[in-house]
Structure 1
Amino acid sequence: MKIKSIIFLVLLITNYNVHLFSQKAENRKPNIVFIFTDDQTYTSIHALGNKEIQTPNMDALVKNGTTFTHAYNMGAWNGAVCVASRAMLISGRFLWRANAISDEWAQKEKTALTWGKLMEQQGYDTYITGKWHVEAAVDKVFQHTKNIRGGMAADAWNHGKMVATFEAIKKNNGSFDKVPMPNGYNRPLSEDDKSWLPYNTSKGGFWQGGKHWSVVLKDDAIAYINEAKTKENPFFMYLAFNAPHDPRQAPKEYQEKYPLRKISVPQSFLPEYPFRRDMGNNNNLRDEALAPFPRTKYAVKVHTQEYYASITYADEQIGLILDALKKSGKMDNTYIIFTADHGLAMGRHGLMGKQSLFDHSIRAPFVIVGPDIPKNKKVDADIYLQDAMATALDLAGAPKPKYVEFHSLMDLAKGKTTKSNYKGIYGAYLDLQRMIRKDGYKLIVYPKIQKVLLFDLNKDPEEMQDIAGLSANKIKVKALFQNLQQLQKEMGDPLDISNIFQTL
């Protein structure tokens, strides 16, 4: 009898502990890993249609998760577009209100409203490594920081000389003539131009410190994963690659994966975009000065080769991070959100940078992978990439604060809805460009010259045929223009473009 009682008691305790463990497991908050690249356009992943590039680990994310094929950055208030993108991401606010809050981030109560702090309030251990480029002090937003990088690897370009050069270009009526360019710019001038080699470690840049920054980030991430796997708290990791931002450096063997003969020239290639100066893409805009004017197909191929190599090298590091997550035993309760801060032109429309409102410059890849996320699914509803913040809060079980203007993507990912959370995608760059994307059309406005462009995105996804001047489209242009003005009001956009309406 005594033995039976003991056995019964043991079984009772065991069942109770199993129940407690099961209940605890059910109540566990998921880990969230945010992987963020820099300057990576939406057409730069093999699994999403680019058969020239090698991205096996990004492909795996696409295969194992849900891809949002139309993810946009809203724009920027200066040439460093990533500053605005990241400010929106961290603050949860739309463009112009993110600009305003950035000026106040020195105040402790303001940084308490940021993404990292909101996750910390939900019991998360928060960690960041890599690029920051936000006005708020990073250690006021994240608990654990490692190898925080600035906006770009300026030492590779000799930043002081670069600034002086662009001032000289301004004084020279915007011409490169008689203005000596810093190494790495205005190149290649010919097939014999070997003035810059992306695998030359003596140039510094991503090689500064002796180890490529993409590898440093991978090492940091794996070290933190190995530490976090022994802890009970859920973790929120913000892994921000500097790649493939210029200087687009990677080892030689990665360049050799992309022989120039196999690299195509973009369909929308132009030697020079006719409105580039009117939209703020002058010769002294740093991104545009990387390649010669007028653009050559050879130069675009060389820059694309370096771009692809940089992405493939970052992709390899992402694969190693994913392997570490699997080995940690945490993957079954981990969500991964992968995106970039915006796109990049890389020769499209005769442009090189991200300071335009064409899709190549404002549209980024966006993938979510997780325990209950549909696999190999594509969602074509228009979103903003900054929806990542609201999505993470949703996954963490946190109520979304009223000041967070972006939306969770979980209902779209799980198929509970197919409709976008937005009436239209709004875009802005300084006071020189405005845009609305709605119902399969895009309207772009260049206010300084009162120029309006219209593109039918279903028939013309590369945005090559302006149809604003066709009489059949007059009503469409006016309607979209008024929609854009309404979005301006909702966004707190200070620019008045009403005078242009009279010209339509």
Structure 2
Amino acid sequence: MIKAIDLKIICFLLFFGCKEIKEKTHLDLQTNKKPNIIFLFSDDQSFKDVNALGNPEVITPTMDKLVEEGTTFTHTYNMGGWNGAICVASRAMIISGRSVWRAQQISGNYSKNEDLDKTWPRLMETAGYETYMTGKWHVQAKPDSIFNHVGNVLRGMPFDTPEGYNRPLNKNDTLWKPWKKEFGGYWKGGKHWSELVKDDALSFIDNAAKRDKPFFMYVAFNAPHDPRQSPKKYVDMYPLDSVSIPQSFMPEYPFAEEMGAGKKLRDERLAPFPRTEYAVKVNKQEYYAITTHLDDQIKEIINSLEKKGLKENTYIIFSSDHGLAIGEHGLLGKQNMYDHSVRVPLMVVGPNIPKGKKIDADIYLQDIMATSLDIADVKKPEYIEFNSFLDLVSDKQAKSRYKSIYGVYKKGSQRMIRKDNYKLILYPKAKQMLLYNLNEDPLELNDLAKDAENLDKIKSLFIDLIQLQKEKGDALDLESIYKNII
């Protein structure tokens, strides 16, 4: 017969034992429900550098599959940068959550713990995520100070050689070959950097599959940034007669010097001046080849998730720093406000993400950070200026959080506003402006700024741009430069 005192002890043990089990089970369930998040980040990849996004010339089956299996944002923009290395500003914004000028202010100030605690991976860590980074960094904060685990940390661009510039001069200029390892670049160290980053990612996934914690991976490739090197078989996929000349091709851009993208800019010196159709074709061939090589590395990462049984509970977000001209408008680089350089691919695949959906609402590349916090159920801090796009994915009626898109290059070289499918570009040093109707002229071939009938549209966009400057902390006095507009 059980004594009353014994019954109390049994009840006490059962109650608190069950409570402990219940709490532990709840924690396990919560952990299991937390989705993993992988951010795959390329560099210099225009939205035009994906087959499924309208370019039949480039071979990108893995990226195409992301478009097929997930939701694609077709109008994703990077704000620009404060120097020629646009990726510096791009990555400072995405790690800090601040817009371009405020990101610049804090980019070199990651010396205090409170500053580090405000970065993207640290915020993910507060939600129980194990964080990992490998590849291109180009941010002032040291990666091992904000990520739990770090693979190879690669410089802003691979080491290049003089042979990679001002080429090809003609069909007999054959010294440079993308697969020649003696030129260094992506081959420095023996293994192509895209393969190195892929191997790092596979190693982390293999270890993460053995643990219960959700993970956040920041996997940053240098490709397809120059020097555009890849194994020969990838270059052979693109015979020159299959590579087209851009409709916007011109030998030289008329405002290149004033806009800060002239003959002294490193990116622009990759091909000869004036541009030739042959040089543009060769550069596009190598651009496509390194993109397809990158596509194969991404395929292995995604296959690994499937083999480890992780893909079903993982969000995969793919995007790039910014685009690249590669001969459009007489330009080679990304230091301009045309869509081929400021607009990037963005695909998201994961639990409850609609398949094959395309959304044309304007967003910023850096919205990826806020979106990942949304997925991880982290309350977005007030200092983060970008927005989650999850509501756009799930709601057919949802509209962009941005009434207009703001673009900059350097303190006084270029400004841009995109609104209601119009784009106004300003070159303050040349006191020039360009206006494009993007609905009727998506390739930005026909400047409407000189037509008197568009003066009201110019004034309206200019006033909105001034307001955007105030919101973003842009100190350039456009009103004094363009006194005749308002």
TM-score (norm 1): 0.90
Matches within 5 A, 1:84-483: 84-154=89-159, 156-157=160-161, 182-415=162-395, 417-430=397-410, 431-483=412-464
Residue-by-residue CA offset, 1:272-308 (whole Å, 9 max, x unaligned):
0000001001211000000000000000000000000
Residue-by-residue CA offset, 1:402-441 (whole Å, 9 max, x unaligned):
0000000100011254311111000000111000000010
SS at match of 1:206: helix
Distance 1:328 1:243, change over 3 A: same
The answer for the alignment partner of 1:161 in structure 2 is none
The answer for the alignment partner of 2:479 in structure 1 is 498
Quick one: which amino acid aligns to residue 72 of structure 1? Y
SS at match of 1:40: coil
2 CA distance for matches of 1:68 and 1:331? 21
2 CA distance for matches of 1:27 and 1:140? 27
Distance 1:379 1:195, change over 3 A: same
2 CA distance for matches of 1:290 and 1:450? 28
1 CA distance for matches of 2:230 and 2:218? 23
- The count of residues paired between Structure 1 and Structure 2 equals 465
Quick one: which amino acid aligns to residue 140 of structure 2? E
Residue-by-residue CA offset, 1:287-333 (whole Å, 9 max, x unaligned):
00000000000000000000000000000010010000011111111
The answer for the alignment partner of 1:5 in structure 2 is none
Matches within 5 A, 1:51-90: 51-90=56-95
Residue-by-residue CA offset, 1:204-236 (whole Å, 9 max, x unaligned):
111111111111111111111010001011000
Residue-by-residue CA offset, 1:105-134 (whole Å, 9 max, x unaligned):
122221111001111111111001100001
2 CA distance for matches of 1:373 and 1:114? 26
What is the root-mean-square deviation of aligned Cα atoms in Å? Answer: 1.6
Residue-by-residue CA offset, 1:153-186 (whole Å, 9 max, x unaligned):
12x32xxxxxxxxxxxxxxxxxxxxxxxx21100
1 CA distance for matches of 2:202 and 2:142? 24
Quick one: which amino acid aligns to residue 228 of structure 2? R
Distance 1:200 1:27, change over 3 A: closer
Deviation at 1:27, TM superposition (A): 6.0
Deviation at 1:88, TM superposition (A): 0.2
SS at match of 2:426: strand
SS at match of 2:164: coil
SS at match of 1:238: strand
SS at match of 2:163: coil
1 CA distance for matches of 2:284 and 2:110? 37
The answer for the alignment partner of 1:32 in structure 2 is 37
Contact map agreement 1:139 1:145 (CA 8 A) in 2: yes
1:487 aligns with 2:465: no
2 CA distance for matches of 1:314 and 1:302? 18
Quick one: which amino acid aligns to residue 447 of structure 2? D
Deviation at 1:491, TM superposition (A): 0.4
Contact map agreement 2:79 2:364 (CA 8 A) in 1: yes
Deviation at 1:482, TM superposition (A): 0.4
Residue-by-residue CA offset, 1:348-393 (whole Å, 9 max, x unaligned):
0000000001111111000010010000000000000000000000
Contact map agreement 1:481 1:501 (CA 8 A) in 2: no
Quick one: which amino acid aligns to residue 480 of structure 1? L
The answer for the alignment partner of 1:176 in structure 2 is none
Quick one: which amino acid aligns to residue 119 of structure 1? M
> What percentage of residue pairs aligned between the two structures are identical?
56
Deviation at 1:20, TM superposition (A): 4.6
2 CA distance for matches of 1:39 and 1:502? 36
Contact map agreement 1:184 1:195 (CA 8 A) in 2: no
Deviation at 1:26, TM superposition (A): 8.2
Contact map agreement 1:411 1:417 (CA 8 A) in 2: no
